[in-house]
A and B are shown apart, each in its own frame.
Chain A
Amino acid sequence: MTKITEKATSLLSEGTVKMIIGYEMGTERPRPLFCHTAEECEKLIMNAECKNNLAVYLTKKEIIGEEKIAVIGNYYVVKTVIQLQRENQINLDNLMVMTADENGEVITFTTIDEMKEYTDTHEPAPDPKMVAALEKIDKMSREERWEYWKSELSKCIRCYACRAACPLCYCNRCVTEVNCPQWIEPWAAPLSNMEWQINRVMHMSGRCVGCGECAAACPLDLPIGLLCKKMGMDIKSTFGEWKDGNVLSTYNIGDKENFIK
């Protein structure tokens, strides 16, 4: 019995929590698992392949209900929980956050400060593929960048999987579904696809935890993760490491720019 299974089984049998969200092995890769019984806990796993950001379920009342639950997630789940708590979207009294280290040892967080300490010290190395892709785009001229994004995003079928997979895209009513005014046309066309992605990324600015679930969920493998990544890097270089609140919901009188004349 692995340590995760042991921990999960004891939590369920003691009645501390009603449900545990974790990972199980799917046909090809790990997938989310919702455990209600000790037998289900046998399937729980945790390894480097467990990529899903389970925090996406934490804002869905129909899944988590009113009872206390636990989540055994990866680094990004912990990071997302911190952000969701900043935005008052979760109740930590009803949520137990856990992760596991490379030896399978379960780490349980009791306070937000512990989670912050963990995320500060355990940041995964950036994906080399992503770094290379960003470098490639940086070398392009503006016209090439426009052509690149236009051709990539014109493939988009507007399934909104990027929105569904994102744990921080939790609005009940999304801007794309508003038709008065119609900010973004609902059909898939190059410009409305671009407008949708710009909207999505702008609404994520300073909030995105960088889990890459938007890109992973994309059925067309569009490089939309690059947009979030680039925006995160820009915000970090302009405003520094932002620890509390959201970058765009606050301001600093001393903000420096060089384009307003």
Chain B
Amino acid sequence: MEENNNNFEPRIIAFVCNWCTYAGADLTGTSRIKYASNVEIVRFPCTGRIDFMLLLKAFAGGSDGIIISGCHPSDCHYTSGNFHARRRWMVFRDMLDFMGIDIERIRWSWVSAAEGAKWADVVNDTVDKIRKMGPYTEYKKAAMFLEEEKICHD
């Protein structure tokens, strides 16, 4: 299993806000800081816009890990978007854990536009962690349920 995991390249989806983390990730690039290329960034106007369904869809679509990041509290471009988001995540995270969905695969972070180095750390950390955890097969299996059924019937 360990050997398999060493070859395994996790697929990470990052949902980030336009004003802080996206700019921060941009700074990482312009500062020539190298970080893991496993991450695919999806830009949102605000963390408040990140619907909880997007996380579930990311897992169903084959993502092994998720990064959610936005402006630090009190720094939101729209004043309160991240406060609303924070509340939603507090409730949602408990809900997912209760249903047995692996919340360790979701990394929440605040990365400001000036924290290019922090963004690289967040991504590298997450990729390392997910690489150790291996692919999120149990969720993918549930997502593939109908296709498997079809194969059985054929």
Binding site for B on A (CB under 8 A): 137, 140, 142-150, 183-184, 187, 189-191, 194-195, 198-199, 201-202, 205-206, 227, 230-231, 234-235, 238-239, 247-248, 251-253, 255, 257, 259-261
Contact = CB atoms under 8 A, between A and B. Distances in A.
Interface string B62-96: 00000000000110000010011011111111111
A198 B54 CA distance: 12
A216 B153 CA distance: 34
Contacts of B44: none
Interface residues of B, number: 38
B56 A195 contact: yes
Nearest to B68: A260
Contacts of B94: 230-231, 234, 238
B35 interface: no
Contacts of B109: 260-261
B102 interface: yes
Interface of B: 52-53, 56-57, 60, 73-74, 80, 83-84, 86-103, 107-110, 138-139, 142-143, 145-146
Given A253-B83, A255-B87, A261-B107, 12 more contacts: A145-B100, A146-B100, A149-B99, A190-B142, A191-B60, A202-B91, A202-B95, A231-B98, A234-B94, A251-B83, A259-B103, A259-B108
Contacts of A201: 95
B95 A198 contact: yes
Contacts of B87: 239, 247-248, 251-252, 255
